[in-house]
């Protein structure tokens, strides 16, 4: 027996209600941060041949990257899904202060990539220097930084920051462990 129109409409209504409830449960900050900082506007989109027209820009863009770990790091930043403590999509309940520096500020993506002293050696590294040569406006500086032309270098830098953060946190954990003598 085929499903009646009322059953199908009830299913659609239930699906819409569930989708709306799920969207409301997400942190508002993640969507707002994405739209303000990482979303690509129509004027920033490049016309690229060889890809389906409905393929999302970020997938077309990063498909040319030789190192998938770098592409993944860039995608994580753009999707507001970083390992940083103040990441709007984290649900750990942990303090959002930067655990790798002494500035006593929130470990946001902007702080980690542009300001944190723990990553200063990476910022001064010759291979990442092209990322920091152009003046970045004070307002929307993370957006300007993320949308700059050297995307391969940017992805490599972000991956290096993620790796450095892991190393620093691992070293801090080892220092905290009590030393037991046998």
| Mean per-residue pLDDT pooled into runs of 10, the chain (182 residues) | 54 59 56 68 60 63 79 88 86 81 91 96 95 83 87 94 96 80 54
Q: What is the DSSP letter of 159?
A: H
SS3 38: helix
User: What's the distance, CA 161 to chain centroid?
Assistant: 12
- CA atoms lying within 13 Å on the CB side of residue 75: 15
pLDDT, position 161:
97
- pLDDT at residue 1 in the model: 45
Distance CA(50)–CA(157), nearest Å, equals: 28
Phi, psi of 97 (to 5 degrees): -70, 150
The confidence score (pLDDT) of residue 59 equals 62
Distance between CA 45 and CA 43 in Å, rounded?
Answer: 6
């Amino acid at each position: 027996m085929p499903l009646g129109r009322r059953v199908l409409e009830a299913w659609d209504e239930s699906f819409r209600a569930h989708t709306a409830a799920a969207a409301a449960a997400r942190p508002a900050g993640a969507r707002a941060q994405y739209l303000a900082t990482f979303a690509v506007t129509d004027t920033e989109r490049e016309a690229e041949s060889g890809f389906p027209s409905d393929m999302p820009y970020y997938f077309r863009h990063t498909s040319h990257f030789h190192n998938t770990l770098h592409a993944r790091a860039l995608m994580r930043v753009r999707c507001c899904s970083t390992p940083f403590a103040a990441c709007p999509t984290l649900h750990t309940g942990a303090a959002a202060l930067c655990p790798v520096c002494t500035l006593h500020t929130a470990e946001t993506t902007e702080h980690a990539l542009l300001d944190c002293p723990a990553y200063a050696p990476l910022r001064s590294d010759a291979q990442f220097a092209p990322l920091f040569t152009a003046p970045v406006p004070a307002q929307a500086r993370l957006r300007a930084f993320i949308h700059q032309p050297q995307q391969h270098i940017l992805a490599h830098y972000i991956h290096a920051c993620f790796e450095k953060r892991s190393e620093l946190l691992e070293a801090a954990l080892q220092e905290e462990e009590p030393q037991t003598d046998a």
